[in-house]
């Protein structure tokens, strides 16, 4: 059984069946098959009709869970990438073809990878701010604010807590780096250096800006930290985190493909 095999809600299942098989007579039985048979589910969610609907109907995103929405896009990306011999990489002011599509497809054919990426993307549709109180001495507490999209505040928070409590932060920091380089690589570049002169922009509040290269470096570092955390030892999570550490570029490419081909004009609308 897949680690990320989620129980689709009735709302999700109704949307899927009404789109792909609206004339089915035994809807309850079909729902059960979709929930129990992962291979059948994958084939069903790879149907062109469901992709066309989630992309063509602006309100479709509100009718299903975010994780299902992104799973559909990832399965479409897998299908489309199989028909290509290369992916694109941005270098200077031009796109460079890289003949690695077969490797990217192999990475994405792993069901655990698709489910992880779908859940990860869903987690960025709503950004949260937190305030916590940390005990720093006898009777002394420190108030800490952090944003779950700000890797600097999350890194600082990591240093304030015990290793036992850091796993979720390691994962979130790594996911942020992958998300930014996958869905908003153009922003990462513009935010770091001026587009014409290529000079690095001045820092903000005394903090240097983060380059795209640093996002990748930190993303891989924190996936490694997550993979070596004692709470995931000898579990499938350990395997997943090592996969992302070792194949960060391959994990990024399907997200680039989705951003460029399916969500180019909707990214700001979906990820608020």
pLDDT, one tens digit per residue, over 182-215 is 999 999 999 999 988 889 999 987 789 999 999 9
**Is pLDDT larger for residue 250 or for residue 91?**
250
Instruction: Specify the pLDDT at position 1.
Output: 38
Burial class (CB in 10 A: 0-12, 13-18, 19+), 78: buried
Q: How far apart are CA 265 and CA 262, in angstroms?
A: 8
Contacts of 202 (CB under 8 A, 6+ apart): 209
What is the pTM assigned to this prediction?
0.91
Q: In which band, very low, low, confident or very high, does the pLDDT at 85 lie, cut at 50, 70 and 90?
A: confident
Q: How far apart are CA 157 and CA 155, in angstroms?
A: 5
Q: What is the mean pLDDT of the chain?
A: 89
Instruction: Specify the pLDDT at position 93.
Output: 65
Judge whether 71 and 118 are in contact, CB under 8 Å.
yes
Least confident among 87-91, 160-164, 173-177, 240-244: 87-91
C-alpha angle 125/172/82, rounded to 5°?
A: 70
Instruction: Specify the pLDDT at position 86.
Output: 83
Burial class (CB in 10 A: 0-12, 13-18, 19+), 105: buried
């Amino acid at each position: 059984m897949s680690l990320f095999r989620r129980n689709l809600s009735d709302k999700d299942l109704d949307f899927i069946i009404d789109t792909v098989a609206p004339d089915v007579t035994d809807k309850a039985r079909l729902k059960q098959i979709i929930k129990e048979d992962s291979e059948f589910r994958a084939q069903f969610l790879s149907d062109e009709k469901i992709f066309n609907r989630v992309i063509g109907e602006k309100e479709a995103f509100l009718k299903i869970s975010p994780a299902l929405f992104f799973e559909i896009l990832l399965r479409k990306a897998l299908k489309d990438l199989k028909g290509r011999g290369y992916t694109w990489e941005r270098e200077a002011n031009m796109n460079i073809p890289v003949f690695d599509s077969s490797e990217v497809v192999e990475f994405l054919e792993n069901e655990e990878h698709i489910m992880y990426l779908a859940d990860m993307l869903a987690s960025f549709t709503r950004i949260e701010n937190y305030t916590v109180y940390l005990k720093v001495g006898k009777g002394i507490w420190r108030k800490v604010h952090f944003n779950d999209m700000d890797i600097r505040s999350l890194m600082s928070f990591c240093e304030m807590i015990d290793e036992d409590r850091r796993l979720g932060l390691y994962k979130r920091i790594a996911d942020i780096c992958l998300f930014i380089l996958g869905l908003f690589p153009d922003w990462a570049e513009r935010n770091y250096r001026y587009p014409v002169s290529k000079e690095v922009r001045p820092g903000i509040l005394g903090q240097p800006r983060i380059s795209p290269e640093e996002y990748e470096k930190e993303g891989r570092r924190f996936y490694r930290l997550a993979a070596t955390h004692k709470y995931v030892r000898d579990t499938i999570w350990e395997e997943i985190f090592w996969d992302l550490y070792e194949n960060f570029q391959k994990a990024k490419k399907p997200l680039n493909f989705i951003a460029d081909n399916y969500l180019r004009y909707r990214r700001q609308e979906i990820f608020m």
